[in-house]
Every structure is written in C-alpha cells, then in structure tokens.
Amino acid sequence: MTDNPNTPLQNLWQSQPVESIHMSIEEIRKRAGKFERKITRRNIREYVSSLIAATLFGWFFVRTHDVFLRIAYVLFIAGLAWVVVQLRRKASSKTLPLAMEAAASLQYFRAELERQRDAVQNVWSWYLAPLVPGFIVMTLGYWHSMPYPKGLIASAIVDVCVAALFYGIWRLNLRAARCLQRKIDELYAAEKS
C-alpha cells in the first residue's frame, strides 16, 4: 500500500458496495472442469466439420467416373486430413499456457498477441496450401471431362474464384499479423521506456 493517505476518489472506489462471492473448492473444481469440457467441445466441432467436408468429397468421388476428378477428391480429402493434423498440433496454442495467467500484464498481453500473430501469419502454409493440389487436378479434370471450350471456361471460372478467395484470405491474415506485430512492438517499447 502507498504511504500517502487516500484521495477522496480512492476512498470512494474502495468503499463502494460490491458483490463478493465465495466459492467452495468443490464449486471451483466443478467450474474448472466445465471450462475444460468447453475446449473439448470446440475441438470436436472442428473435427466434425472436417469430417462432413471429407464425406462430401467421398460422395463426389463415388459419383464421378472421371479419373482426374477422382484424384482431385482424394487430394482434397488428404488436404483436409493434413489441416486437421495441423489444427490438432496447434490446439495447444489456442489458449495461453496456465503459467502465463500469473505473468505481469505486459508479458501476458504480449504472449497473447504473439499467439494470435503466429496463428494468422502462417495461414497459407498450413490451411490454404494443402488444398491447392486438389484444385489443380480438378482443373485438369474439367478440361478432360467437358468439351472444349466449355471445360476451359468452367475451370477458368472456378480457378479465378478460388484464387481470389485464397488471395483474399491470405492478404487479410497478413494484414492482421502486421497489425498485431505493431501492438507487440508497442508493448516492447512500453516495457523498456
């Protein structure tokens, strides 16, 4: 505590009526368990959505007889599996380690921002790139299965849309990473100044 006597505003702040709660250790354990279950549910949701997408590609695989398209769907499923593996590897970085909760605020914020930056700045390598081979082979499939120039036009349209979408996602993430890096630099400066 400070040696100086409190100012009127400090007195006002400290004497305000507040609701303080008392939780028994049993209640605490129960709520902590609830938090863990929430994380597990979030992970399950991600796996289930990937499974649904993979099933859809599997269904397309069965329905088509074109070799190129079949290879494309297999590549999509493999790409999705790779994304799921990466998601699992990154799961530990979705929340900060427990020890960080008691770190000084500045270090805590910085760690949180660095975690977010790392997640968005590598989005190309772990999230977008694994799906590219599937799209390339699918393009060949359209050329192969549809009469000229219909196949060429259809594949060009799909490719341009997908390329624009990927580029947009990549640029947005890059911008977010730069913005996070600026905030991180500000915190480093605040620590040193």
Partner 1 sequence: MSVIQTIPKAPTQDSLYEQASQEYGSALGRLARAYEADPEIRRDLLQDIHVALWRSFAGFDGRCSLRTWIYRVAHNVGASHVEHQRRSRTQILVDLEELDQLPDASSGQPAADRSQAMDRLLTLIQRLKPLDRHVILSYLEGLDAASIGEITGLSAGNVATKIHRIKNLLARQFQQRGEAND
Residues that bind partner 1 (CB under 8 A): 1-3, 6, 8-14, 16, 18-23, 25, 28, 31-32, 35, 98-109, 112, 190-193
Q: Distance between CA atoms of 110 and 187, rounded to whole angstroms? A: 7
Least Cα distance to 115 among 182, 172, 181, 168 occurs for 181
Toward partner 1, which CB reaches closer, 81 or 191?
191
Toward partner 1, which CB reaches closer, 35 or 47?
35
Q: Distance between CA atoms of 41 and 109, rounded to whole angstroms? A: 26
Q: Distance between CA atoms of 22 and 87, rounded to whole angstroms? A: 38
Toward partner 1, which CB reaches closer, 7 or 148?
7
Q: Distance between CA atoms of 137 and 154, rounded to whole angstroms? A: 14
Toward partner 1, which CB reaches closer, 32 or 157?
32
Burial class for 16, CB neighbours closer than 10 Å (0-12, 13-18, 19+):
exposed
Shortest distance in whole angstroms from residue 36 CB to partner 1: 10
Shortest distance in whole angstroms from residue 189 CB to partner 1: 10
Shortest distance in whole angstroms from residue 178 CB to partner 1: 19
Shortest distance in whole angstroms from residue 187 CB to partner 1: 8
